[in-house]
A = this chain, B = another copy of it.
Amino acid sequence: MTLEKILTSDNMNPMVRKAEYAVRGELAIRSEKIKTELANGASFPFKRVVGCNIGNPQALDQKPITFFRQVASLVEYPDLLKDENAELTSKLYPSDAIARAKLLLKHIGSVGAYSHSQGIPHIRENVARFISERDGYPADPSKIFLTQGASAGVQLTLQMIVEHSNVGIMIPIPQYPLYTATLAVLDAKPVPYYLNESKGWGLTPEELQRSYDEASRNGIETRALAIINPGNPTGQCLTEENMREIIEFCRQNRVILLADEVYQTNIYKPESRPFHSFKKVLMSMGPEYENFEMISYHSISKGMIGECGRRGGYFECQGLDTSIMEQVYKISSISLCPNVQGQIMVDLMVNPPKKGDPSYEQYKKEYDDIYFSLIRRAKKLEDTFNSLEGCTCNSSDGAMYLFPQIRLSEKAIAAAKEAGKEPDQFYCMAMLEATGVCMVAGSGFGQVENTAHFRSTFLPQPELFDDFCEGIKNFHASFMDKYRD
């Protein structure tokens, strides 16, 4: 007897069904499959799959920061810190890593115990110190929440804000699809504002106002504005002046600012386009902005750390009502606590070795090597894209991505339609099958109608990078030839 299914895609949660997340969508699933088939000896026109669909540096062999991992290793196995093992341990671990591990365990007890739901107090104090040193303005540990990565923080805070299905949240187009996916699940309305590709993915207050007003005319109550700075997928970095305009827009329209600043150290033009935190810019605008409502997010997954698999991050609440802070605590507590090793990595991120510490030189070298290599690879890939027929690509001020526009032929667009795919999705799938390179189609991020883009990280290994760029060039040329009108 076969039972008829109780739960089907027709009667499941329709908001969940509606959510889309292209970064791990059809292309990524196909690339995983190819990887398995390659491992089982199947033949493809390439030897390896290169995952450029997601900012996952250590999956592409970026070496973790040694000091951070030494501390993480010691806190896992506290017997190493006992007197009887001191001699052996000191041969494998530097003294500052040992001291840090002891300090952390003094505050934490065990990495295997649930912590405070908001995050370990000692670590939140260090985050507050980091923020105040970064910005030159005070930060309060009681307004900081440690999370399982910035994604979890964004999901939690959006969940707080969405009162009903007519609540709108302004999001950039193109955007990181976490935002549209989360809003779909919450049954809220994305209110798109467009970044101007021809002006380096710039953002104007006029466009923000247009977007807000259009939503209002449609009966949408816009409650918050999400901004990603440096941008994902666009890589643009906002000027201080622009940020003041955005804050002013929010204040005038009574909109909470959600500042996704996870790429704050991925800054590739530090002279002309330095990073400014929204917190700092806000504070510089004077005491009348003290009650301005803002949440800003940071993560251990990006920057030169790249500890994605660990799931750690934090958000800082600014100007939120006390009753809301209590609710944020309550909802955090239902999941008990963020994982403790992720919290520890936040501690290390905000408090790395200092000049004079035994591990400082090595830390500095590892950090800089990654940083300067990212600058080189970003430029190399940008040049590659701009050398392709029908392709233009803004340069990257920051983050880990390029988002080139490709102009496809009528024939290619017809072939895509035939295959039941968006043109950019069709292009990316052809690239994956030909080269093993997995990117994400622009349609997954949103784009101006009748344009086609894709997002690629510039994370492939430095020693393989030339081959990687060459493979893209060859594929593109043959694709363009194949579908020439």
In the assembled complex, the Cα of A311 lies from the Cα of B327 at a distance in Å of 22
Also in contact, A85 and B76, with CB within 8 A (given A114-B308, A256-B7) = no
Docked-complex contact B111 and A292, CB < 8 angstroms: no
Partner pick for A88 among B92, B293, B301, B319, CB 8 A cutoff:
B92
* Interface contact A70-B59, CB-CB below 8 Å: no
Contact A9 B327 (CB under 8 A): yes
Closest to A336 in B: B151
* Residue picked from A92, A114, A223, most chain B C-beta under 10 Å: A114
A416 at the B interface (CB under 8 A) = no
Residues of A282-337 contacting chain B, CB below 8 A: 288, 291-293, 301, 306-311, 319-321, 323-324, 327, 330-331, 333-337
Contact A70–B66 (Cβ < 8 Å):
no
Instruction: Classify chain A: how many residues form its interface, as a range.
Output: 35 or more
**Interface check A419, CB cutoff 8 A:** no
For A112, what are the chain B residues with a Cβ–Cβ distance below 8 Å? Answer: 58, 64, 306-310
Enumerate chain B residues within 8 angstroms of A74, measured Cβ to Cβ: 73
CB–CB B88/A77 < 8 A: no
Which residues on the B side are within 8 Å of A85 (C-beta)?
92
Known: A88-B91, A181-B334. A321 touches B5 (CB 8 A): yes
In the complex, what residue of chain B is closest to A77 when comparing beta carbons? B73
The stretch that binds B, out of A15-23, A126-134, A199-207, A211-219, is: A15-23
Per-position binary interface string of chain A over residues 72-91, scored 1 when its CB falls under 8 Å from any chain B CB and 0 otherwise: 11101111100001001101
Min distance, Cβ A377 to any Cβ of chain B, angstroms: 18
Bound CA–CA A295/B381 (angstroms):
46
Contact between chains at B288 and A1 (CB < 8 Å): yes
Question: Which single member of B16, B21, B113 contacts A58 (CB below 8 Å)?
Answer: B113
Q: Write the residues of chain A forming the contact surface with B, with a CB cutoff of 8 angstroms.
A: 1-3, 5-9, 11-14, 16-17, 19, 21, 23-25, 28, 32, 54, 56-59, 64, 66, 69-70, 72-74, 76-80, 85, 88-89, 91-92, 109-117, 148-149, 151-152, 155, 159-163, 178, 181-182, 185, 223, 251, 254-256, 288, 291-293, 301, 306-311, 319-321, 323-324, 327, 330-331, 333-342
